[in-house]
Structure 1
């Protein structure tokens, strides 16, 4: 590969990572928006449903993709969390103890509660994540003997989130599939004995795209869950508000990666066009008398989501309004969706 091709590829990966950072921030922000606007109980239910839905859609196919299906249930579940999170840039550790007991640990800093966000996350919300995913892996595997024992939660002031999968000698009732044992501590992590992805199957370009898609997947899951849980009106408000707040905060970071800058309508139209490309969305831009129109032909994030309500488009509407405000004052942006909030979405900037 030539130096020019290398440089172009690096620039592409930088753009993908900017998209990942934007959607990562949006997902974390969405949880905090629900905590502050709806309260802890609603936020916990929202997080539970998001992680349960992801677990039901991704866990078993992920085991196959990562080559883990042949392993004992406790080991397979723990290695899945280690490798799948590693693909998304999440710092996680795996410690094998036996075929019926395997640990995972998410040391600080926590990916999902990045930076100061961790101060706004109640313990109940973190527990809901474990109830949604970790506690249901045995059910998904058809093994009701498998449960998860949580020994630490970072949001409770402990040094990370950790616990172990344990295959008991008896089937577990619903309330036994997630239990807490705060008096225990995970063994040390040894990177040399940890599982690794086969390099031939996971070259650098595939890893970079997986990093981007990992963060985007959370928003893909969260938007329809929010609509089903809170209804289109309330969900649309929360999705839009979160997007606007995050867009305003993250424009400069995204613009730097997309090689665009602050300015007026022209600069923002250029930024948005680059963002669509980095998301793998097809878009066409036209200009007329200082007004720019971008016709977004695809929204791959929601392409095959069966229960995607038109209110889910509030994700983009809010995000783009916030990004426009970050680009410059008084940049107007208006969305005109097709039926059902599906593409083509026409954005007018001016």
Structure 2
């Protein structure tokens, strides 16, 4: 196997920095809702995000991963194993029978990275399972398929785990997710787990998929936030989360982009590098210490039918926070179109 050249390695490093930034943003967004609106609203938000992801991604993902021919329980479990593995999530898969297959997310949990896990109520974690895992049977056209959760890491157990099981009869809505805390998953055998075909999943494709995996959550979460809480409240929460995460993550992202701290000039250069790492096109002009960056594309929200102008608060908050991390008193102003879609004009001073 030929080793990647340094330029390719540097690109992958930039992609991973983008993934880490959006990963942190998504986790932070859930915590912002927990702390600003309470557990019930946070659980409803998480449920809607994961249900939307499931409806948009599950069946196409089965096809892309070559799993559509498998029995429902096995297909569902292998989907979670492979798709999460691509995104850098710690995950395990254990086959028991054609009607029963386990999935396990051992610590550390990807979605509740670091100390964030201490701020996640059990109800919010259960909402994720209700949104996605409990609905896979419905998506597959087999309502006999349900998910049995045996552990939840946010409840102090050693991971999130459970199994897909195909019952003898169709399940009612409240039977599609049940809990059996007295059971425990079998041990993981990596040699027996499914693997992606190397020929169709070379490293460049995996690296880009790793980046896109994290970004996809924000792409889904922003419009869900607006639809659930309304543009004003959602815009505030999206902006606040972005600012907090941007301030915390500037140093990490800047290091991957080979940038440093400084003033408006350095931040404008940083922002252009970030656009490139996100696959966005941008043009910069300068006049008397002020930099104008015309963002010609925003691939994150491209083709999102219900993209509301308030969704642009994601970028506004992130960029303000990143600017604060870059240096004191760097001004950032967004002039957005009425639709909130590109071109977006940024003024940095």
Shift of 1:339: 2.4
Query: Can you list the C-alpha shifts for 1:74-124, whole angstroms capped at 9, x where unaligned?
Result: 000000000000000001000000000000000000000000000000000
Alignment of 1:218-229 (within 5 A): 218-229=217-228
Q: Which position in structure 2 is the counterpart of 1:255? A: 254
Residue 177 of structure 1 is matched in structure 2 by 176
After TM superposition, list the pairs within 5 Å mapping 1:116-155 onto structure 2.
116-155=115-154
| 1:2 CA drift (Å) | 9.5
Q: Using the alignment, how far apart are the partners of 1:338 and 1:237 within structure 2?
A: 19
Distance 1:143 1:2 in 2: 45
Deviation per CA, 1:147-192: give whole Å up to 9, x if none.
Answer: 0000000000000000000000000000000000000000000000
* Deviation string, structure 1 residues 22-81 (Cα, Å, up to 9, x no partner): 000000000000000000000000000000000000000000000000000000000000
Task: Give the structure 2 partner of residue 29 of structure 1.
Answer: 28
Deviation >4 Å, runs of 4+: none
Q: TM-score, normalised by structure 2?
A: 0.99
Q: In the comparison of the two structures, how many residue pairs are matched?
A: 349
Cα offsets for 1:285-314 (capped at 9, x unmatched): 111111111100000000100000000000
Distance 2:72 2:339 in 1: 42
**5+ residue gaps in structure 2?**
none
Report what 1:342 is aligned to.
341
Once residues 45 and 338 of structure 2 are traced to their aligned partners in structure 1, the CA distance between those partners, rounded to angstroms, is 27
C-alpha RMSD of the superposition: 1.0
In structure 2, what is the equivalent of residue 294 of structure 1? 293
| 1:70 corresponding residue in structure 2 | 69
CA distance in 2, matches of 1:332, 1:171: 58
TM-score where L is the length of structure 1 = 0.99
2:205 — aligned with what? 206
Question: Residues 239-318 of structure 1 correspond to what in structure 2 (within 5 A)?
Answer: 239-318=238-317
Unaligned runs of 5+ in 1: none
C-alpha distance in 2, partners of 1:16/1:262?
Answer: 20
